[in-house]
Amino acid sequence: MLRLRWLTLLTDDPEGLDARITRDLGLSRCAFDPELEGFGVSSAIYPVGPDRFLEVCAPVREGTSAARRLERAGQGVYMVIFQATDLEEHRPRLERHGIRVVAEFDRPQARGRWAALHLHPADTGAALLSLDVSDPPEDFTVVEGPWREHVRTDVVTDLAGLEVHGTDPAALAERWAAATGAPLRDGSLLLDDARIAFRPGTDGVATVLLDAREDRDLDLGGVRFVLRRPTT
């Protein structure tokens, strides 16, 4: 299993972005932490579709990696989480490609277990990538509380994929393939439930693709959101 499960946006205006996400995407915040321990950011989490998530982080302390990233690159996609079955099967490939693990987590949660490998953004490019395991796999246990009560699908029905821009999109695609183990086809990373395309453009710029009730394009927190009705 390799699923696109989570996108994190980094912003300097969390209240304004919360209002836009609630109004324009029709999402409901299921969790909020004023400061994530060890990261120096606030965290607001919104279910997207039946079982995926959008997170909004904002630095609350100077000198953190998130604060430096925001100052250097501005608002945008900060982290992408892929759900895997077993983290150990990924380690040999990461070592072979020289992709460093900058943080590891493995801890019991209220509803099960969560484990993750955070990969060094200098080795992957464009965003911090994370490989996560959730037990049970159908319930992303890192989100505390009854998040399913906050699922809203009146506007957005699911997360369909992501487009990542860079000055060398082919090299970026190869790095993400090495990081995740997902196959590449026609310049796109093929996951079990989504597609990540790589386009020429400014490094770090991203477009989020959403299945929705109606077609619409939005700019939220330095990210282009493309809402489209699924084709049958």
| Predicted confidence (pLDDT) per residue in 156-180, tens digit | 999 999 999 999 999 999 999 999 9
Cα dist from 22 to 27, 29, 54, 200, whole Å: 5, 8, 12, 31
CATH of the domain at 208: 2.60.40.4320
Q: Point out the domain boundary residue: 92, 110, 137.
A: 137
Q: For residue 193, give its domain range.
A: 152-228
Read off the CATH number of the domain in which 81 is found.
3.10.180.10
Q: Are residues 125 and 53 both part of a single domain?
A: yes
- The reply to whether 142 falls in a domain is no
Taking the C-alpha atoms of residue 158 and residue 225, their distance in angstroms, rounded to an integer, is 12
The helix (run of H) or strand (run of E) holding residue 175 is helix 169-180
pLDDT of res. 45: 98
The answer on 212 and 102 residing in a single domain is no
Residues forming beta bridges with residue 105, ordered by sequence position = 116
Number of domains the chain is built from: 2
pLDDT given for residue 170 in this prediction: 95
Of 73, 107, 137, the domain-final residue: 137
Same-domain check for residues 54 and 24: yes
Say if residue 14 is in the same domain as residue 96: yes
Give the chain's residues under pLDDT 70: 232
Q: Is residue 169 classed as helix, strand or coil in its secondary structure?
A: helix
The verdict on 35 and 133 lying in the same domain is: yes
CB neighbourhood size of 121 (10 A): 18
∠ CA(95), CA(4), CA(115), 5° rounding? Answer: 55
Per-residue pLDDT of 190-201, as tens digits, reads 999 999 999 999
